[in-house]
A and B are shown apart, each in its own frame.
Chain A
Amino acid sequence: MSATAEQVAFWILAIPLVATAAGVVVAKNPVHAAMNLVAAFFFLAGIYVLLTAHLIAFLQVLVYAGAVMVLFLFVIMLISLGDEHLLEERYRGMQLLGVVGAMGLVAVLAWAILDVARAAPGPLPADFGTVKAVGRALYTRFLLPFEATSLLLLAAIVGAVVVAKERI
Protein backbone atom coordinates (compact mmCIF):
# COMPACT_ATOMS: atom_id res chain seq x y z
CA MET A 1 0.00 0.00 0.00
CA SER A 2 1.54 3.26 -1.04
CA ALA A 3 1.05 6.24 1.21
CA THR A 4 -1.11 9.03 -0.11
CA ALA A 5 -0.07 12.66 0.12
CA GLU A 6 -2.59 13.16 2.92
CA GLN A 7 -1.06 10.37 4.99
CA VAL A 8 2.46 11.72 4.54
CA ALA A 9 1.36 15.24 5.49
CA PHE A 10 -0.58 13.85 8.46
CA TRP A 11 2.43 12.09 9.96
CA ILE A 12 4.74 15.03 9.25
CA LEU A 13 2.34 17.23 11.26
CA ALA A 14 1.13 14.76 13.89
CA ILE A 15 4.49 13.61 15.25
CA PRO A 16 5.84 17.11 16.05
CA LEU A 17 2.38 18.06 17.31
CA VAL A 18 2.44 15.33 19.95
CA ALA A 19 6.10 16.14 20.76
CA THR A 20 5.41 19.85 21.30
CA ALA A 21 2.23 19.10 23.28
CA ALA A 22 4.28 16.83 25.54
CA GLY A 23 6.82 19.66 25.76
CA VAL A 24 4.14 21.90 27.30
CA VAL A 25 3.68 19.38 30.11
CA VAL A 26 7.38 18.59 30.55
CA ALA A 27 8.64 22.19 30.54
CA LYS A 28 9.48 23.67 33.94
CA ASN A 29 9.72 27.26 32.75
CA PRO A 30 6.33 28.76 31.73
CA VAL A 31 7.96 30.61 28.80
CA HIS A 32 9.25 27.32 27.38
CA ALA A 33 5.80 25.81 27.84
CA ALA A 34 4.23 28.77 26.00
CA MET A 35 6.67 28.44 23.08
CA ASN A 36 5.91 24.72 22.81
CA LEU A 37 2.22 25.56 22.85
CA VAL A 38 2.59 28.07 19.98
CA ALA A 39 4.37 25.41 17.91
CA ALA A 40 1.66 22.88 18.76
CA PHE A 41 -1.04 25.33 17.61
CA PHE A 42 0.71 25.81 14.26
CA PHE A 43 0.98 22.06 13.66
CA LEU A 44 -2.66 21.70 14.67
CA ALA A 45 -3.62 24.37 12.12
CA GLY A 46 -1.88 22.23 9.50
CA ILE A 47 -3.94 19.23 10.58
CA TYR A 48 -7.08 21.37 10.23
CA VAL A 49 -6.10 22.20 6.65
CA LEU A 50 -5.81 18.46 5.96
CA LEU A 51 -9.42 18.17 7.18
CA THR A 52 -10.41 20.92 4.67
CA ALA A 53 -11.30 23.28 7.52
CA HIS A 54 -9.52 26.27 6.02
CA LEU A 55 -11.39 28.99 7.91
CA ILE A 56 -10.89 27.25 11.25
CA ALA A 57 -7.19 26.70 10.52
CA PHE A 58 -6.84 30.42 9.79
CA LEU A 59 -8.69 31.32 13.01
CA GLN A 60 -6.50 28.88 14.91
CA VAL A 61 -3.38 30.78 13.88
CA LEU A 62 -5.00 34.19 14.33
CA VAL A 63 -6.80 33.68 17.66
CA TYR A 64 -4.77 30.96 19.40
CA ALA A 65 -1.22 31.34 18.16
CA GLY A 66 -1.73 35.10 17.97
CA ALA A 67 -4.05 36.59 20.54
CA VAL A 68 -4.31 33.94 23.26
CA MET A 69 -0.58 33.22 23.36
CA VAL A 70 0.27 36.93 23.51
CA LEU A 71 -2.07 37.12 26.50
CA PHE A 72 -0.30 34.18 28.13
CA LEU A 73 3.13 35.70 27.51
CA PHE A 74 1.99 39.08 28.88
CA VAL A 75 0.82 37.44 32.12
CA ILE A 76 4.04 35.39 32.37
CA MET A 77 6.08 38.58 31.97
CA LEU A 78 3.85 40.51 34.43
CA ILE A 79 4.26 37.84 37.07
CA SER A 80 7.95 37.50 36.12
CA LEU A 81 8.92 34.74 38.49
CA GLY A 82 12.66 34.44 38.89
CA ASP A 83 14.49 31.15 38.63
CA GLU A 84 14.16 30.61 42.37
CA HIS A 85 10.41 30.69 41.96
CA LEU A 86 10.25 27.96 39.33
CA LEU A 87 8.07 25.48 41.10
CA GLU A 88 9.81 22.21 41.47
CA GLU A 89 7.25 19.52 40.86
CA ARG A 90 6.81 17.01 43.59
CA TYR A 91 5.20 13.90 42.26
CA ARG A 92 2.99 12.59 44.97
CA GLY A 93 0.67 9.62 45.01
CA MET A 94 -2.40 11.60 43.97
CA GLN A 95 -0.67 13.10 40.94
CA LEU A 96 0.65 9.75 39.76
CA LEU A 97 -2.85 8.34 40.22
CA GLY A 98 -4.15 11.18 38.02
CA VAL A 99 -1.61 10.37 35.30
CA VAL A 100 -2.59 6.70 35.38
CA GLY A 101 -6.23 7.80 35.14
CA ALA A 102 -5.46 10.01 32.12
CA MET A 103 -3.69 7.12 30.38
CA GLY A 104 -6.67 4.89 31.14
CA LEU A 105 -9.00 7.48 29.63
CA VAL A 106 -6.90 7.59 26.44
CA ALA A 107 -7.03 3.80 26.26
CA VAL A 108 -10.83 3.79 26.64
CA LEU A 109 -11.17 6.53 24.00
CA ALA A 110 -8.92 4.64 21.59
CA TRP A 111 -10.94 1.47 22.11
CA ALA A 112 -14.15 3.41 21.37
CA ILE A 113 -12.64 5.15 18.33
CA LEU A 114 -11.54 1.86 16.78
CA ASP A 115 -15.20 0.84 16.99
CA VAL A 116 -16.22 3.78 14.76
CA ALA A 117 -17.04 2.95 11.16
CA ARG A 118 -13.85 3.13 9.13
CA ALA A 119 -15.33 4.20 5.83
CA ALA A 120 -13.20 6.75 4.03
CA PRO A 121 -15.07 10.08 3.90
CA GLY A 122 -17.02 10.85 0.78
CA PRO A 123 -16.32 13.55 -1.82
CA LEU A 124 -16.65 17.14 -0.67
CA PRO A 125 -18.50 20.08 -2.20
CA ALA A 126 -16.09 22.60 -3.71
CA ASP A 127 -16.68 25.29 -1.08
CA PHE A 128 -16.41 23.00 1.98
CA GLY A 129 -14.69 24.75 4.87
CA THR A 130 -14.41 28.11 3.15
CA VAL A 131 -15.49 31.39 4.73
CA LYS A 132 -18.57 31.35 2.52
CA ALA A 133 -19.82 27.91 3.55
CA VAL A 134 -19.09 28.27 7.27
CA GLY A 135 -20.40 31.84 7.27
CA ARG A 136 -23.67 30.74 5.71
CA ALA A 137 -24.14 28.17 8.49
CA LEU A 138 -23.17 30.71 11.17
CA TYR A 139 -25.57 33.39 9.95
CA THR A 140 -28.56 31.10 9.39
CA ARG A 141 -28.83 28.00 11.57
CA PHE A 142 -26.36 29.21 14.20
CA LEU A 143 -27.49 32.85 14.31
CA LEU A 144 -28.61 32.83 17.95
CA PRO A 145 -25.42 31.17 19.32
CA PHE A 146 -23.40 33.51 17.10
CA GLU A 147 -25.01 36.58 18.63
CA ALA A 148 -24.76 35.05 22.12
CA THR A 149 -21.02 34.66 21.51
CA SER A 150 -20.68 38.41 21.05
CA LEU A 151 -22.33 38.92 24.45
CA LEU A 152 -20.01 36.31 25.97
CA LEU A 153 -16.94 38.07 24.60
CA LEU A 154 -18.19 41.43 25.91
CA ALA A 155 -18.75 39.88 29.35
CA ALA A 156 -15.27 38.34 29.23
CA ILE A 157 -13.67 41.70 28.35
CA VAL A 158 -15.46 43.51 31.19
CA GLY A 159 -14.84 40.62 33.60
CA ALA A 160 -11.13 40.42 32.81
CA VAL A 161 -10.68 44.17 33.35
CA VAL A 162 -12.67 44.15 36.62
CA VAL A 163 -10.81 41.13 38.02
CA ALA A 164 -7.29 42.10 36.95
CA LYS A 165 -7.29 45.85 37.63
CA GLU A 166 -6.18 46.88 41.09
CA ARG A 167 -8.27 50.05 41.34
CA ILE A 168 -11.05 50.87 38.95
Chain B
Amino acid sequence: MAIEYYLLLAAILFGIGLTGVLMKRNALIVMMCVELMLNAANLTFLAFARQRTSVDGQAVAFFVIAVAAAEAAVGLAIVLAVYRTRGAVNVDEVRALRE
Protein backbone atom coordinates (compact mmCIF):
# COMPACT_ATOMS: atom_id res chain seq x y z
CA MET B 1 0.00 0.00 0.00
CA ALA B 2 1.53 3.31 -1.08
CA ILE B 3 2.11 5.90 1.61
CA GLU B 4 0.05 8.61 -0.08
CA TYR B 5 -3.03 7.43 1.85
CA TYR B 6 -1.19 8.00 5.11
CA LEU B 7 0.07 11.39 3.95
CA LEU B 8 -3.43 12.47 2.91
CA LEU B 9 -4.79 11.30 6.26
CA ALA B 10 -2.09 13.35 8.01
CA ALA B 11 -2.99 16.41 5.91
CA ILE B 12 -6.67 16.05 6.84
CA LEU B 13 -5.81 15.65 10.54
CA PHE B 14 -3.58 18.73 10.36
CA GLY B 15 -6.41 20.69 8.71
CA ILE B 16 -8.88 19.64 11.42
CA GLY B 17 -6.41 20.68 14.12
CA LEU B 18 -5.71 24.01 12.42
CA THR B 19 -9.44 24.66 12.05
CA GLY B 20 -9.87 24.08 15.78
CA VAL B 21 -6.97 26.35 16.71
CA LEU B 22 -8.38 29.16 14.58
CA MET B 23 -12.04 28.67 15.54
CA LYS B 24 -12.28 27.65 19.19
CA ARG B 25 -12.09 30.15 22.02
CA ASN B 26 -11.60 27.75 24.93
CA ALA B 27 -7.85 27.63 25.57
CA LEU B 28 -7.99 23.96 26.62
CA ILE B 29 -9.62 22.87 23.36
CA VAL B 30 -7.16 25.01 21.42
CA MET B 31 -4.34 23.06 23.11
CA MET B 32 -5.99 19.73 22.26
CA CYS B 33 -6.13 20.84 18.63
CA VAL B 34 -2.41 21.68 18.78
CA GLU B 35 -1.82 18.10 19.94
CA LEU B 36 -3.80 16.88 16.93
CA MET B 37 -1.57 18.91 14.61
CA LEU B 38 1.58 17.50 16.25
CA ASN B 39 0.22 14.00 15.74
CA ALA B 40 -0.43 14.72 12.08
CA ALA B 41 3.22 15.72 11.73
CA ASN B 42 4.23 12.51 13.51
CA LEU B 43 2.14 10.44 11.09
CA THR B 44 3.97 12.05 8.18
CA PHE B 45 7.36 11.24 9.73
CA LEU B 46 6.36 7.61 10.24
CA ALA B 47 4.93 7.28 6.73
CA PHE B 48 8.17 8.50 5.17
CA ALA B 49 10.19 6.30 7.55
CA ARG B 50 8.23 3.33 6.15
CA GLN B 51 8.71 4.48 2.56
CA ARG B 52 12.46 4.99 2.96
CA THR B 53 12.94 1.90 5.16
CA SER B 54 14.84 4.01 7.70
CA VAL B 55 14.23 4.19 11.45
CA ASP B 56 15.41 7.83 11.53
CA GLY B 57 11.85 9.03 10.99
CA GLN B 58 10.73 6.95 13.97
CA ALA B 59 13.51 8.44 16.13
CA VAL B 60 12.28 11.93 15.18
CA ALA B 61 8.70 10.90 16.01
CA PHE B 62 9.99 9.86 19.44
CA PHE B 63 11.39 13.37 19.97
CA VAL B 64 8.13 14.93 18.78
CA ILE B 65 6.24 12.94 21.43
CA ALA B 66 8.69 14.07 24.14
CA VAL B 67 8.45 17.73 23.08
CA ALA B 68 4.66 17.52 22.88
CA ALA B 69 4.52 16.17 26.43
CA ALA B 70 6.69 19.07 27.65
CA GLU B 71 4.53 21.52 25.70
CA ALA B 72 1.34 20.13 27.23
CA ALA B 73 2.75 20.36 30.78
CA VAL B 74 3.92 23.97 30.45
CA GLY B 75 0.93 25.08 28.38
CA LEU B 76 -1.59 23.67 30.83
CA ALA B 77 0.31 25.30 33.71
CA ILE B 78 -0.02 28.64 31.90
CA VAL B 79 -3.76 28.06 31.31
CA LEU B 80 -4.14 27.33 35.03
CA ALA B 81 -2.17 30.44 36.04
CA VAL B 82 -4.19 32.62 33.67
CA TYR B 83 -7.42 31.17 35.05
CA ARG B 84 -6.29 31.98 38.61
CA THR B 85 -5.42 35.60 37.86
CA ARG B 86 -8.07 36.45 35.25
CA GLY B 87 -10.82 33.91 35.84
CA ALA B 88 -11.00 33.14 32.15
CA VAL B 89 -9.99 30.40 29.74
CA ASN B 90 -11.23 32.35 26.74
CA VAL B 91 -8.35 33.10 24.40
CA ASP B 92 -10.13 36.22 23.12
CA GLU B 93 -10.26 37.75 26.60
CA VAL B 94 -6.64 37.08 27.44
CA ARG B 95 -4.65 39.36 25.24
CA ALA B 96 -2.42 41.38 27.58
CA LEU B 97 1.03 40.12 28.53
CA ARG B 98 1.11 42.19 31.72
CA GLU B 99 -1.08 44.11 34.17
Is the C-beta of A93 less than 8 angstroms from some C-beta in chain B? no
Is A89 touching B80 in the complex (CB atoms < 8 A)?
Answer: no
B46, B58, B89 pick with most chain A CB within 10 angstroms: B58
Known: A34-B32, A78-B80. 9 other contacts (CB 8 A): A14-B5, A21-B16, A27-B29, A56-B58, A116-B4, A116-B7, A120-B2, A136-B55, A142-B63
Across-interface contacts of A122 in B (CB, < 8 A): 53
Is B5 touching A55 in the complex (CB atoms < 8 A)?
Answer: no
Across-interface contacts of B17 in A (CB, < 8 A): 21
Contacts between chains A and B (CB distance < 8 A), count: 222
Is B20 touching A24 in the complex (CB atoms < 8 A)?
Answer: yes
Shortest beta-carbon distance from A57 to chain B in Å: 9
Across-interface contacts of A142 in B (CB, < 8 A): 59, 63
Interface footprint category on A: 35 or more
Across-interface contacts of A156 in B (CB, < 8 A): 69-71, 73-74
Is B3 touching A163 in the complex (CB atoms < 8 A)?
Answer: no
- Residues of B near any A CB (own CB < 8 A): 1-9, 11-20, 22-26, 28-29, 31-33, 35-36, 39, 42-43, 46-47, 49-51, 53, 55-56, 58-59, 61-63, 65-74, 76-81, 83-84, 89-90
User: In the complex, A90→B56 CA distance in Å?
Assistant: 44
Is the C-beta of A2 less than 8 angstroms from some C-beta in chain B? no
User: In the complex, A138→B61 CA distance in Å?
Assistant: 11
Question: Could you tell me the dominant secondary structure of chain A's interface residues?
Answer: helix
| B8, B24, B61, B68: the one within 8 Å of A89 (CB) | B24
User: In the complex, A106→B14 CA distance in Å?
Assistant: 8
- Given A53-B49, A110-B8, A121-B53, A153 and B70 touching (CB < 8 A)? yes
- Residues of A near any B CB (own CB < 8 A): 4, 6-7, 10, 14, 17-18, 21-22, 24-25, 27, 30, 33-34, 37, 40-41, 44, 47-48, 51-53, 55-56, 59-60, 63-64, 67-68, 71-72, 75-76, 78-79, 81, 87, 89, 91, 95, 98-99, 101-103, 105-106, 109-110, 113-114, 116, 118-125, 128-129, 133-134, 136-138, 141-142, 145-146, 149, 152-153, 155-157, 159-161, 163-164, 166
- Given A18-B9, A52-B50, A71 and B73 touching (CB < 8 A)? yes
A-B contact pairs, 20 of them (CB 8 A): A6-B1, A14-B5, A21-B17, A25-B20, A37-B32, A40-B39, A44-B39, A51-B6, A53-B61, A64-B68, A71-B72, A71-B73, A75-B79, A75-B80, A105-B18, A121-B51, A137-B55, A157-B73, A160-B74, A163-B77
